[in-house]
Structure 1
Amino acid sequence: MQNKELIKTIILVILVLMSGVLTYMTWNFSPDLANVDNQTDKDKQTHAIGKPLNQGMEQVVTPYQIIHSKGEDTEGVTATKDNVKTMLDPLMDQRVTRAERMHSQHNLIIPDLSDDFVVLDFTYDMPLATYLGQSLNISAKIPNNFKFNRLLIDQSHNGKVQLYAVSKDRHDVVRMTTTAKTSKLKQALSSLNKKMQPYTEIITSKDTIDKATHIYAPDDPKGLKSYRTIYNRISVDAMNAILFNDSLVVRSAKSGTTTYNNNTGVANYNDETERYRYTNLSEDEDRSNNMKDTIPSTFDYINSHGGFTDDFRLFSTNNDSGELTYQLFLNGRPTFNEKDLNQIKVSWSEKGIFSYARSLLKTNVTIDSGDSETDLPGAEEVRSSLANNRTIDFEKVTDLAIGYTMNDKPDNKDIEIQRNSEFTPQWYVEYDGKWHPYKDGRLE
């Protein structure tokens, strides 16, 4: 009997001690927050395909060329990110103190434009309020819903910069007086001066006969290099994690296309082309064509998961369908590819992303191809050839630019096929709203 009581006492003591230890551990417990943070970071990384841009929308919504017109001399420079930043710095964080809209039924003439001004050309039209507010952080009260694709930077009599936003049809302009200093503008031009090359002024129609509305193109492009890019691949799982919020049904087809879907969306991925396209099925509303919302919203969405994996820039805006195209640039020049491997196409709706299409390739390294440098025909030769081509309505030529043709070249010699492309310089012409490669006097 005494032994039983002794055992009970010992067990009771042990239980009391264990209770004390557990109470102490509970009160003094400190979770390993470092590990939790690390796990959270890992989760976030699985929902990203690259690093977000560390600056604002001005890295993606940019001009494609910078022109300086001074008297009879016209020079220009490619729109590398450094060149664009240098030119725009004098305008950043300023204010518009006065704005006035002007309209012309015929050729647009700006009477007070000086003979020394800068032209920023864009390949798309966009709301002026969006560009000033989102890209330049300029405070401005300007006409609602005005769209532009050319910005003239001029100097006023009081030492302040004056801006002229010109509409795509060259019949409307908004004149803006700013707080930006002319002295800062001159400093920016001075730093770009040594990079400038001669440019030609081209007239294609009655809408381009004034110095404010000419088409500008490189005068005599010579010594242009070709480049070769080797790619890494973006994981399909990473894209699905970004765009889908729950489990997926996966279906494969003999054509090499795999379909992923759930109750909210569907995506298709093609192994051969390495193109991925997502459509949101949960959006009852049609895609939005309000570019004041679509441009900043798509930028924020793509950038939030590091989607601008290379030098992608806004290249076209479709005001009817609401679709935007972000296109790959190389050394400040646009690239072109028949399979759209150089594009991100995206549209927005009232509630969020509506569609999203892109190649799942991103640059690993870009090097000089080693080929001989290329001399392209001069801008005047291109103009003359197009004007004399009976199959072309020359008045429908709205822009000329040097870009890079992206030729897809898989290397089958590698044990694991390494996807790569060669970029070769070529003239491109915007004709009737679409860009075409120019070769031997014709548009391809």
Structure 2
Amino acid sequence: MTYENIKTIILTILVATSAFLTWNLWTYQPKYDLFETTNTVKEVTIATKKEVNQIVRPDTLLFHHSEKETYGTVSPAEIDKIIKDISVWNFNDFENVTEDMGNLPSYVHDVGKAVIMFPDSVPIDLYKSVIKIGDKNVTNFQFDRIVIDMNQVHKENGIVDFVSIDNQQVFRSHVPVSYIQNFKSQYFKLSEYSPEYKTYFAYEPSDKRIIYLPSQETKMERYQFLEKKLDSEQYKNALFSDPSVVQKSFQQSEEEYNDTSSLLRVNSDKNTLRYVKPAAGDNLTFPSGDLLKRSIDFVNAHSGWTDNYQFAEIDELNHRVIFRMYDSSGYPIFSDDPKITEIRQIWGQNEIYEYFRSNFELGLRTDDKTEVSLSSGTPVIKYLQSLDGFDPELLENVTLGYKMMLVKEAQTTFIRLEPSWFYRYDGIWESISLDETGGMNNGLE
């Protein structure tokens, strides 16, 4: 073998070795020990989360068949069916038609109108998550009524108005007329024969508002439940950014939790839970467009919907949102001060300033079924008109509902829900109860 052949063999071996080492370097994957990933902050789950359509709900349906015939219901089952149906209608071509309206309440409640009523103003931007809106450039407005016109079923497009009684504003949308035709045959016409619907009559306290009340007596159930206390420690863990530094103390009937910026008080005598973060209320400017959304998100963050709470009131000026308890039949539940049937929130610029609610939820039902009959709306209106100093301009609403009372017996607390009439006057809800002589007593007692 010549010298040149030996050099060639050695060179070939070196090249092959280099290529092998390079390949191993490129493809080498070191074996690391596996570590389980853990969340640095554990999510607190107190009760349940809810979607917008479960919280922001209509509370009354009215179908105006003629000038003397109006059928209405508060049935959650009927409301759910109708909202589910209209959620796919694809509302389009929104326009502000406020200037074309005459007397707005009369227009809303005209013959041939189906009126879906909400407790207070709802931003259309939020309600886009419930109904289908094809108009991508729709202005963000507010509404408290959805009005479906049954008189347009013979035209190419149907008309659905989103009305704000408080703001005296109307935004009109258009939908395929086939949807309204189906709505008329499935709901509007049949309401006259459905046991879920009752006849209603109109009371007009002013030219800015028409209130509809049942024309006949209404049977409602009495309820009694055991009180189920909420876990204060869970709320501490949910509401404070760093629960490990929170200090706990006791003051008479109160548990108090605090850190350097926040305070949580749980009062067992008043049955309330109040969380305050004073620094969040310093800035007076506030982007109120998403006020309702962030209020829902705040409760969802700790799954805090312990009972059947629904959106009830919004006050953008004071950055306040109220969610109220409703019973399974669709009636609102009220109480004495403090408002233990409500979840109240007041917002600062970017954070919650105050969170106020009860420290309990409804436990097991303890009594048998008991029905009571409440009067029609006629004697209620007569009673209100007889009150000293009554100003019909200040009457905002009249409704059937429940008064919650907590009764302590030995070591047990019972929650009683008593059917009653309620009216909202100058921003305040009051109750009307029948006495033994057939008269009426006024006030949340």
| TM-score, normalised via structure 1 length | 0.80
Distance 2:233 2:247 in 1: 13
* Aligned-residue RMSD, C-alpha: 3.0
Is the 8 Å Cα contact of residues 104 and 165 (structure 2) preserved in structure 1?
Answer: no
| TM-score, normalised via structure 2 length | 0.80
Is the 8 Å Cα contact of residues 66 and 120 (structure 1) preserved in structure 2?
Answer: yes
Is the 8 Å Cα contact of residues 265 and 278 (structure 1) preserved in structure 2?
Answer: yes
1:6 maps to which residue?
A: none
Structure 1 residue 171, shift from structure 2 partner: 3.4
Structure 1 residue 354, shift from structure 2 partner: 2.4
Give the structure with higher Rg (CA): 2
Structure 1 residue 160, shift from structure 2 partner: 4.6
Corresponding position: 1:234 with 2:230: yes
Letter in structure 2 aligned against 1:199: Y
Q: CA 1:237/1:263 → structure 2, altered by over 3 Å: closer, same or farther?
A: same
Q: CA 1:197/1:42 → structure 2, altered by over 3 Å: closer, same or farther?
A: farther
1:313 maps to which residue?
A: 310
Aligned pairs for 1:175-324 (under 5 A) are 175-179=172-176, 181-186=179-184, 187-189=186-188, 193-208=194-209, 214-246=210-242, 247-254=245-252, 256-283=253-280, 285-286=282-283, 290-324=287-321
1:388 maps to which residue?
A: 386
2:133 maps to which residue?
A: 138
Corresponding position: 1:420 with 2:414: yes
1:430 maps to which residue?
A: 424
Corresponding position: 1:96 with 2:89: no
Q: CA 1:345/1:112 → structure 2, altered by over 3 Å: closer, same or farther?
A: closer
Distance 2:118 2:441 in 1: 24
Deviations 1:240-263 (A, max 9, x none): 111112211223223x12321112
1:164 maps to which residue?
A: 161
- Among 363, 373, 376, the residue aligned to 1:375: 373
Structure 1 residue 423, shift from structure 2 partner: 0.7
Structure 1 residue 83, shift from structure 2 partner: 2.1
Is the 8 Å Cα contact of residues 75 and 196 (structure 2) preserved in structure 1?
Answer: no
- Among 383, 407, 417, the residue aligned to 1:409: 407
Is the 8 Å Cα contact of residues 105 and 165 (structure 2) preserved in structure 1?
Answer: no
2:343 maps to which residue?
A: 344
Is the 8 Å Cα contact of residues 148 and 167 (structure 1) preserved in structure 2?
Answer: yes
Deviations 1:197-253 (A, max 9, x none): 111111111224xxxxx3111121332211112232211110011111221122322
Letter in structure 2 aligned against 1:427: W
Distance 2:284 2:298 in 1: 15
Letter in structure 1 aligned against 2:54: Q
Corresponding position: 1:57 with 2:52: yes
How high is the sequence identity, in percent, across the aligned residues? 19
1:15 maps to which residue?
A: none
Is the 8 Å Cα contact of residues 274 and 357 (structure 2) preserved in structure 1?
Answer: yes
Deviations 1:141-172 (A, max 9, x none): 67746333222122434365422223234733
Is the 8 Å Cα contact of residues 277 and 358 (structure 1) preserved in structure 2?
Answer: yes
Q: Structure 1: where are the runs of 5+ without partners?
A: 1-25, 209-213
Corresponding position: 1:126 with 2:122: yes
Structure 1 residue 280, shift from structure 2 partner: 2.0
Structure 1 residue 386, shift from structure 2 partner: 1.8
1:152 maps to which residue?
A: 147
Q: Structure 2: where are the runs of 5+ without partners?
A: 1-29, 434-438
Is the 8 Å Cα contact of residues 113 and 154 (structure 1) preserved in structure 2?
Answer: no
Q: CA 1:392/1:145 → structure 2, altered by over 3 Å: closer, same or farther?
A: farther
Distance 1:172 1:28 in 2: 65
Letter in structure 1 aligned against 2:103: N
Q: CA 1:284/1:437 → structure 2, altered by over 3 Å: closer, same or farther?
A: closer
Structure 1 residue 367, shift from structure 2 partner: 5.7
Distance 1:261 1:174 in 2: 47
